[in-house]
Chain A
Amino acid sequence: MTGNCETITVLLRASLRDQILTAATAAEPDEACGLLLGIRETASARIESVVGLPNRTEQNPQMHYQIDPLDFLRLDREAQLRGLEVIGVWHSHPDGSATPSATDRALAWPDWCYLIAGRDDNGKHDLRAWRFRNDRTTEDRVTEWLP
């Protein structure tokens, strides 16, 4: 992990992008969420697996999500066995854009990969990648969709 502000390219296969958008649609009107397993290198984050997890928020699930830390722990072990690591999280904004909210920003971990599924101005599905610096400012990452 670098912790600097250089641009990081997120590498994601189209099938995994579709998996996130399908899960987000299925969960509506609630937010969907899960973790991203992959390989983090200096200039890229290659996502190898997208895992959907139950939304365990104790707040309104249409506005918030939370991942059970035990789910995280078990996936971290699984990733380790596969030579991968948990490199980020994905979640959906059922009625919002694919940009980080104030809550997302406040609870973010620096230099992790955040994928947010939302809607664009035309109401179409949108998926964008973000990372958060230590000061909670964000940077829209370059995302390369792999076939």
Chain B
Amino acid sequence: MATVTVRIPAALREFSDGRAEVDLQADTVASALAALAGHFPLLAQRVTDPGGAVRPYVNVFVGETSIRDASGLDTALTNGDVIAIIPAVAGGQV
């Protein structure tokens, strides 16, 4: 298992007791998010759907690579990886 850090955006910190970062043991993004859900279930509900898939308006990066451009939830992790949860930011005047 790798030791990784999950970085939580300010917009979601009300669901992580205000914590900006959480260190976890995980070998894939899926296991990291499962571990995160163990600590902060309400946060996990906003990141993944009931089936475990990342919600459309959330992006998950490992380093600077979106997991959508890698192996998705099966993306492998190594020691020191930083997983960033990035909210999609969009809108418009209509």
Contacts and interface: CB of A to CB of B under 8 A. Distances in A.
A64 B9 contact: no
Say what secondary structure dominates the interface of chain A. mixed
A100 to B, nearest CB: 8
Given A69-B66, A73-B61, A91 B91 contact: yes
Interface in A82-107: 85-87, 89, 91, 93-96, 100-104, 107
A48 to B, nearest CB: 14
Contacts of A76: 7, 9, 84, 86
A94 B11 CA distance: 26
Interface residues of B, number: 24
Contact of B18 (A1, A33, A86): A1
Contact of B94 (A72, A87, A101, A109): A101
The range of chain A's interface size is 35 or more
Interface of B: 7, 9-14, 18, 20, 57, 59, 61, 64, 66, 84, 86-94
